[in-house]
Amino acid sequence: MKPLVTVFAAIFTIAISTTAQAFCGFYVAKADTSLFNSASQVVLVRDGQRTVITMANDFEGDVEDFAVVVPVPMFIERGQVNVGDKAMIDHLDAYTSPRLVEYFDPDPCIVRNRLEMMQDMSAPPSSWAERTIGARSQGITIEASYTVGEYDILILSAEESDGLIDWLNGNGYRVPSGASRVIGSYLKQGMRFFVAKVNVEEQRKAGYTYLRPLQVAYESNKFMLPIRLGTLNAKQQQDLYVYALTRTGRVETTNYRAVKLPSNVDVPAFVKSDFADFYRDMFARQAQAANDSGVFLEYAWDMSWCDPCAADPLSDRELRSLGVFWLAEESTTRKIAPPRVQDVFVTRLHVRYDREHFPEDLVFQETGDRQNYQGRYVVRHPWKGNSGCDLTTYHEQTRDRLEREAQQLANLTGWEVDEIRARIDFPSLRRMDDDPAPWWTRLWD
Amino acid sequence: MDISTRLQDPRYYQIGVLASLVTCGIIALDFGIRVENAVAIVSTALLVQFAGSKAAGLPRFDPLSPLITSLSLTLLFRTDLAVIAALAALVAIASKFLVRVRGKHIFNPANLAIVTLMVSSDHAWISAGQWGSGATGALAIACLGIIVLTRARRAETTIGFLGFYALLLFGRAHWLGDPLAIPIHQLQNGALLVFAFFMISDPKTTPDTRGGRTLYSALVASTAFVIQYVLYQPHGPIFALIATAPLVPVIDYLFRGTSYRWARFVTAPANGVKGAR
């Protein structure tokens, strides 16, 4: 029997060749979705009632076994379905990932008053701002059937959920127990079912070795994501990333608490090599603190810039391929358009869900909030070089700072503070008297 | 009125609950409340009430009602611009003086302001999901205190609304075959409770008789349900209240009652202060 995959899972790795130089500090690592097992990624483009949804999947196994069933709010015609380019989602993931930045303390003897580099999160630097990147049986009706790319698509409507379940079972799909009730509920809410399975011949012809994301465009009052089917047979919590691309501002859930993850936190230097572990454990702890029912904001930013950049903003072409239809409209009506700031705001939401804590589907709304937010974690390396002055005070301050970072890290991740301390290179507190250089060497500086 | 009589005015308790919610919202619960918006709303509301009282020739300035309005606004209304927050407070309080029928104002001030600004500006929204289950639980207990304090007098609108709304949600779940966890989750919404206890409960904008209020609460609940679960639009209760408010004078006409005066039930039949409060 073929497994019925109801929610796509995405695990992938992207080689990060960019070490993009940022406005203030260097981008060194990011926590992309590859950190989390069985994570699904969905891009939701929405303006008014027009919606384009792109679903990434990382199905591993024999593609012949692959099928996905998605509830959709309306009848979907051939032209409303497209097969997208996975690279676009990868790029969006990279662009919106939580990031680690590092700074190096200057020589404390030369720069006594270290200037804190403050990030202006409210306005883009002008160079970025100007940049334009960016058979009726069993009571079920197959309303449409067509092939798009390597997928065979069926649009099903049914009077009764049992009919649909029987049809799926009869066609060799393993339907999770309890699906009948959920499907029945969706049917009564006027939703249709979209079934996609891989057409192996087409896939061979196209030459793809992986499954490309499916895209569906529709118009509906419902700004939601059906997650109930996906929770039916899940033994554990699942991770879902929603990238919302909108015109006005940040997207949030109206029926679950939206939580901002702690950001702009100073962390010890060793986190640089353990960034993935750090982020995973921090996220787990924050999710727990929100009673496992929070929807976490990981990124909210105007698509025309970034700082620091984990990846370049998406180009107009990439955004259009993800379904940002208003960009397409504008460029066809204004052929000689001047460079402009992109009219696209991206929100990245990370949800760890299970049936117990997320009984309902996710319902979203677009807010007017255009305040930028990013998951940003900072490593500040203490000055290690030789110095021409007494470093006692600097070392004391550094020890205090590193101790604070250790405690903060313990709070964020739940790691043992003593283990953290053992991995931190605290400067030794040598007094001037212990200094092997004779006192007179600095007498006539 | 002496101090002890005054303190029995349920509005003091309401203000206490709302103020602590706003404080927790800013400090601990990350409701997304901005301090500058809170300040803009409270100060504008008091200022407009003061000016309005003078202009309407009221004998005294009553800060309680504008405080409740502005705290409700602070809790529910979100904007990224403090000027929009101030504008919301202006619309809310000014409407009490300007939009009146038979000596009663028609729209709940905070409700009118939220809807006006949401419809006319991209910078205004409501964060209905910003309450964790813990916060909602605490809020529910605090809200129940109001019913105890007022000995459930005039609480028909609140109880009626929540009752009818819950009935509709459970009925829907039953029809869809959904688990009970879904309607329960839908009811565990902080914004819904703030609406039920601090907005629809406003005696100045609800019908004067018990029967009228019960009918009205059923009307608001069913309209809210249609908006949210038939039309799939967010913030059903908020829009339902504004849509049904003009029916209050009609219900009053049909049921015939007397207009509400704050603290009436703790004082002797008063030559109470009439007018906008």
Q: Which chain B positions have a beta carbon within 8 Å of A257's beta carbon?
A: 129-132
Q: Which two tokens stand for residue A36?
A: 């989390």
pLDDT tens string B159-207: 899 999 999 999 999 999 999 999 998 988 888 888 888 888 877 788 8
Residues A238 and A284 placed together within one structural domain of the fold = yes
Residues A330 and A416 placed together within one structural domain of the fold = no
pLDDT, mean over chain A: 76
Q: Which chain A positions have a beta carbon within 8 Å of B177's beta carbon?
A: 181, 184-185, 188
Residues A320 and A433 placed together within one structural domain of the fold = no
Last residue of a domain, one of B110, B127, B144: B127
The answer to whether residue A407 is domain-embedded is yes
Residues B95 and B28 placed together within one structural domain of the fold = yes
A-proximal residues of B, 11-40, CB under 8 Å: 30
Report which of residues A67 and A103 the model is more confident about.
Answer: A103
Average pLDDT of the segment spanning A248-255: 92
The answer to whether residue B228 is domain-embedded is yes
The answer to whether residue A128 is domain-embedded is no
List, in order, residues 6 or more apart from A441 with CB less than 8 Å away.
Answer: none
Q: Which residue of B has its CA nearest to A364?
A: B234
Residues B104 and B9 placed together within one structural domain of the fold = yes
Last residue of a domain, one of A381, A407, A435: A381
Residues A389 and A369 placed together within one structural domain of the fold = no
Residues A348 and A389 placed together within one structural domain of the fold = no
H/E/C letters for each residue in chain A? CEECECCCCECCCCCCCCCCECCCCEEEEECCHHHCCCEEEEEEEEECCEEEEEEECCCCCCHHHCEEEEEECCCCCHHHEEECCHHHHHHHHHHHCCEEEEEECCCCCCCCCCCCCCCCCCCCCHHHHCCCCCCCECCEEEEEEEEECCEEEEEEEECCHHHHHHHHHHCCEECCCCHHHHHHHHHHCCCEEEEEEECHHHHHHHCCCCCCCEEEEEECCCCEECCHHHHHCCCCCEEEEEEEEECCCCEEECCCEEEECCCCEEECHHHHCCHHHHHHHHHHHHHHHCCCCEEEEEEEEECCCCCCCCCCCCCHHHHHHCCCHHHHHHHHHCCCCCCCCCCCEEEEEEEEECCCCCCCCEEEEECCCCCCEECEEEEEECCCCCCCCCCHHHHHHHHHHHHHHHHHHHHHHCCCHHHHHHHCCCCCCCCHHHCCCCHHHHCCC
The answer to whether residue A405 is domain-embedded is yes
Q: Which chain A positions have a beta carbon within 8 Å of B123's beta carbon?
A: 368
Q: Which chain B positions have a beta carbon within 8 Å of A184's beta carbon?
A: 176-177
Last residue of a domain, one of A344, A364, A381: A381
The CA distance from B138 to the nearest CA of chain A, in Å, is 15
pTM of full prediction above 0.90: no
Domain limits at B20?
Answer: 3-127
Size of interface A-B (CB pairs under 8 A): 77
Q: How many of the other CB atoms lie within 10 Å of CB of A260? A: 15
Lowest mean pLDDT among A1-15, A144-158, B76-90, B223-237: A1-15
**What is the complex's ipTM, to 2 decimals?**
0.83
Q: Max CA-CA distance within chain B?
A: 58
A311 touches chain B (CB under 8 A): no
Residues B217 and B178 placed together within one structural domain of the fold = yes
* Contact flag B177-A254 (C-beta cutoff 8 Å): no
Enumerate the β-bridge partners of residue A214: A55, A83
State the pLDDT at residue A24.
Answer: 29
The answer to whether residue B148 is domain-embedded is no
Last residue of a domain, one of A360, A381, A402: A381
The answer to whether residue A181 is domain-embedded is no
The β-bridge relationship of strands A362-366 and B104-105 is: unpaired
The most confident of A3-17, A269-283, B95-109, B228-242, by mean pLDDT: B228-242
Give the count of domains, chain A. Answer: 2
A263 touches chain B (CB under 8 A): no
Q: Distance between CA atoms of A33 and A93, rounded to whole angstroms?
A: 7
The CA distance from A104 to the nearest CA of chain B, in Å, is 32
Residues A272 and A418 placed together within one structural domain of the fold = no
pLDDT tens string A300-313: 999 888 888 888 88
Q: How many of the other CB atoms lie within 10 Å of CB of A263? A: 16
The answer to whether residue B210 is domain-embedded is yes
pLDDT tens string A260-311: 898 888 888 888 888 888 999 999 999 998 888 899 999 999 988 888 888 8
Domain limits at A306?
Answer: 9-114+211-381
Of the candidates B125, B131, B127, B143, which has an alpha carbon nearest to the alpha carbon of residue B14?
B143
State the pLDDT at residue A23.
Answer: 25
Instruction: Name the amino acid, one letter, at A141.
Output: T
Average pLDDT of the segment spanning A80-84: 88
The answer to whether residue B199 is domain-embedded is yes
